[in-house]
Structure 1
Amino acid sequence: MKKKLLTLLMGTALVMGLAACGGGNNDKGTDKGTDKGTDTVTSDAGAKIFDQKCSGCHGGDLTGGMGPNLTKVGSKYSKDDILGILKNGKGQMPANVVTGDDANQVAEWLAAKK
């Protein structure tokens, strides 16, 4: 009985974790298209997208959880490297959690974390 309960809890935790990592709606009302030529707008948009789609696994403060710590990810990976990880996945992270312009904004924001 204990094994069945533990299996159920672990399975539920895994499903919830994956939903948090790749979940969220594809809200078209976000900061897309509002870039007025400033890094702050892009940075804010990248942070907002990260919060919606990535923080469930990587933590709202980037210190990790199910996913790795990303507080200094920009010192290890370039923007293009991060885009590749977002597109192809890595380890337990599924591919295409964030795509298109959203992926560019998140990659730029994360690449600045040094």
Structure 2
Amino acid sequence: MIRLKHGFVACLLAGVLLLSACSGGSSATNSGNPNAGQSDDQLIYKKKCISCHGVDLQGRAGPSLQNVGSQLTEEEIYSIIANGRKGMPKFEKRLSEEELRSVARWLSEMK
């Protein structure tokens, strides 16, 4: 009977250790946050742009942005985000100057 208790405790302890190792613990890079490892510009895109431009920048209601950096300069992209264009709303009052610049820079690298 004692052997069974020790075996059960050992299995339970092993299971806890295994689960804690798989969860990644509480490190800064993976603390249960689904946005961990994403840059600020990617988080802004996810919050403000994804519904129209798609998860992979493939386009939905808005155009594809997958190669936007090959078609427009960073300044042109900035202007479109800040001032809107066609069906796209203005984001100049919804995002800070720093956020606008960050997203424009990030999108300009999409070539």
What is the distance in 1 between the residues matched to 2:45 and 2:107?
A: 9
**Greater C-alpha radius of gyration:** 2
How far does the alpha carbon of each residue in 1:42-68 deviate from its partner, in whole angstroms, 9 at most, with x for none?
x81111111111001000110000000
Look up the match of 2:61.
66
| Alignment pair present for 1:100 and 2:66 | no
Measured at CA, do residues 99 and 67 of structure 1 come closer, stay the same or move farther in structure 2, by a change above 3 Å? farther
Look up the match of 2:50.
55
What is the distance in 2 between the residues matched to 1:67 and 1:61?
A: 13
Q: Normalising to structure 1: TM-score of the pair?
A: 0.59
**CA contact under 8 A between 1:58 and 1:69: conserved in structure 2?**
yes
| Alignment pair present for 1:113 and 2:105 | no
Alignment of 1:1-114 (within 5 A): 44-96=39-91, 98-114=95-111
What is the distance in 2 between the residues matched to 1:79 and 1:44?
A: 18
What is the distance in 2 between the residues matched to 1:99 and 1:81?
A: 17
| Identity %, equivalent residues | 36
Measured at CA, do residues 80 and 49 of structure 1 come closer, stay the same or move farther in structure 2, by a change above 3 Å? same
Structure 1, unmatched stretches of 5+, are: 1-40
